[in-house]
Structure 1
């Protein structure tokens, strides 16, 4: 039985994917190609400058939990059905009811659009960050260098 699953994280109209810093909670966007590039060793939060273990948003985490719960309930029900067949005749019987209702697995939508494309001159890469960070200074998501008043 295949226990793995894939969650598709959509990109916005410009091709950027939403990330959330696990430390400060700031949202920002980078392109999937930049995030997977071998030249980018770690992703830094543009607000706090710290490296996170992962930048999964709450929506993605919640969807993963729902999918996992649905798969686990299906597996448990199938195993109980097998046991029911084994004990169908005899002194002890087991009656398994209907399969449990599945929780809806709603697709993820790229919902945060109040971010602006910013060019980071240190790495010659772009990311989408909050406009206030652009004015006050932020960290490059690709190398961690502090940039002030980006254009």
Structure 2
């Protein structure tokens, strides 16, 4: 059984990311993040490095966990429903009620981020305007 949960992107195809060190927010293109050679990222704000998966914001993880829980509950329900049908006429009964689905956390974008081009890696990211005024580290190579 395969179950895939896609990480949502904004309208421009950028993932929302959050530094595990300084908690700074930024966005990077889904194609750049999903590339096989993107194993680590540098924070554009603090420049510290971490596994790319550690930059996934907690609200995105909670959203995915809710989707996975709903899927699991539906699969268990389907399995028990089949079992209850097979038991009919055997003198035993199994009452199965459809589970209540949890509503996934709504993912909204509060911050306005500006696109900047990184000439070192020829990529585009989105950062806060405050970061543009100060130093911006490239998430892919760490160049400042």
Deviation at 1:108, TM superposition (A): 4.2
Deviation at 1:143, TM superposition (A): 0.3
RMSD over aligned Cα atoms: 2.7
Task: Compare CA radii of gyration and give the structure with the larger one.
Answer: 1
Q: Is the 8 A contact 1:21 1:27 kept in 2?
A: yes
Any idea what SS the aligned residue of 1:141 has?
A: coil
Any idea what SS the aligned residue of 2:71 has?
A: helix
Q: Runs ≥4 in structure 1, deviation > 6 angstroms?
A: none
Aligned 1:58-73 pairs, distance under 5 A: 58-73=58-73
Match of 1:33 among 31, 52, 55: 31
Residues of 2 paired with 1:87 and 1:142: CA distance?
A: 58
Deviation at 1:38, TM superposition (A): 5.9
TM-score by length of 2: 0.76
Residues of 1 paired with 2:88 and 2:113: CA distance?
A: 61
Give the stretch that moved more between structures: 62-71 or 112-121: 112-121
Q: Is the 8 A contact 1:27 1:129 kept in 2?
A: yes
Distance 1:76 1:45, change over 3 A: same
Q: Which residue of 1 aligns with 2:129?
A: 131
Q: Is it true that 1:81 corresponds to 2:81 in the alignment?
A: yes
Deviation at 1:117, TM superposition (A): 1.9
Match of 2:41 among 40, 43, 54: 43
Q: Which residue of 1 aligns with 2:21?
A: 23
TM-score by length of 1: 0.73
List gaps (5 residues or longer) in structure 1: none
Q: How many residues align?
A: 142
Residues of 1 paired with 2:90 and 2:39: CA distance?
A: 62
Residues of 1 paired with 2:26 and 2:96: CA distance?
A: 46
Deviation at 1:28, TM superposition (A): 0.5
